[in-house]
């Protein structure tokens, strides 16, 4: 599942390429994942693409409603823009160059011809560039939401871990109130927004805290270390453009590089970067949990 850094990255990248574009055509291939009247978007100009929690929001000029997109487990957003350039050779030859921005669950659709069998929504713009929403498992969704709905959503959401409102005091109070394993608390999107399995594992290793410990048992010093570690790994993830499957990273320059910085995630059996002890894997809350039995206590 794409986590906060991956969703933040694709929102920033799409903001760079979509602002100013006007919707000319929209096709919904899977009705159950779409909510709203798609026809109201025709002729609307995009003014901003942003992220809140793990939801991408697209805003339009003179239009209060916002298109919200949740990638869920296997969702992708892929922007494709083709330009033609005439090469002055012995005979003039026109070549098509493709600009592509892709984010979300990595798959061959990042680089293959589109639309594909996984394309759920296709948006064509006035300059013939296209935004595809793909989703293999069709758990993701696209919704047109009004201001009242968004305000209701915002009031029920906890602070993102990169927000100013996500303070050490807030974090410490959350831990103090919970008897759950600390890793499950970090993953609870009702308590804090944006930490997924990858970054929870690495933050706990950086803070040298065992994932199975009760959150309320952490002392002040440990809570502070973990708070700093959470902020650090999330910010590093954003800087790296998120994490991607290695076999998709280099193709056309797509994908993130945080996987090159994994401390424990999917490194079971490998040596801990800090002490050399083999990293172990257990299941916690149904999720793969990776830790160093020597460093993390």
What's the DSSP call for residue 218?
A: -
Burial class (CB in 10 A: 0-12, 13-18, 19+), 186: buried
Q: How far apart are CA 263 and CA 187, in angstroms?
A: 18
Q: How far apart are CA 4 and CA 153, in angstroms?
A: 17
Contact 292/264 with Cβ under 8 angstroms?
A: yes
State the virtual CA torsion across 245, 250, 255, 256 in degrees, nearest 10.
80
Residue 53 β-bridge partners:
none
Site of tokens 């998709």: 248
Contact 9/256 with Cβ under 8 angstroms?
A: yes
CA dist list (Å): 27 to 49, 72, 105, 126, 229? 20, 21, 21, 15, 43
CA angle 147, 152, 157 (to 5 degrees): 125
Residues recognised as catalytic: 2-3, 54, 287
């Amino acid at each position: 599942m794409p986590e906060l850094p991956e969703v933040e990255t694709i929102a920033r990248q799409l903001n760079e390429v979509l602002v100013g574009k006007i919707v000319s055509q929209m096709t919904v291939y899977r009705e159950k994942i779409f909510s709203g009247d798609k026809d109201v978007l025709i002729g609307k100009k995009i003014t901003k693409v942003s992220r809140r929690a793990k939801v991408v929001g697209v805003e339009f000029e003179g239009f209060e409603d916002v298109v919200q997109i949740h990638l869920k487990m296997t969702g992708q957003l892929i922007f494709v823009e083709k330009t033609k350039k005439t090469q002055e050779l012995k005979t003039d030859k026109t070549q098509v160059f493709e600009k592509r921005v892709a984010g979300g669950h990595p798959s061959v659709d990042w680089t293959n011809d589109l639309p594909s069998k996984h394309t759920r929504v296709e948006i064509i713009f006035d300059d013939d560039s296209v935004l595809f929403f793909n989703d293999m498992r069709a758990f993701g969704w696209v919704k047109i939401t009004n201001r009242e709905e968004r305000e209701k959503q915002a009031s029920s959401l906890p602070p993102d871990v990169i927000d100013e409102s996500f303070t050490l005091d807030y974090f410490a109070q959350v831990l103090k109130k919970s008897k759950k394993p600390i890793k499950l608390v970090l993953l609870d999107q009702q308590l804090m927004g944006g930490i997924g399995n990858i970054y929870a594992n690495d933050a706990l290793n950086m803070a040298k805290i065992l994932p199975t410990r009760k959150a309320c048992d952490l002392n002040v010093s440990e809570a502070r270390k973990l708070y700093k570690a959470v902020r650090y790994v999330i910010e590093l993830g954003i800087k790296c453009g998120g994490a991607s499957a290695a076999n998709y990273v280099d193709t056309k320059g797509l994908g993130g590089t945080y996987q090159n910085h994994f401390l424990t995630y999917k490194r079971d059996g490998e040596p801990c970067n800090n002490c050399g002890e083999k990293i172990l894997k257990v299941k916690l809350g149904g999720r793969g949990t990776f830790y160093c039995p020597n460093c993390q206590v």
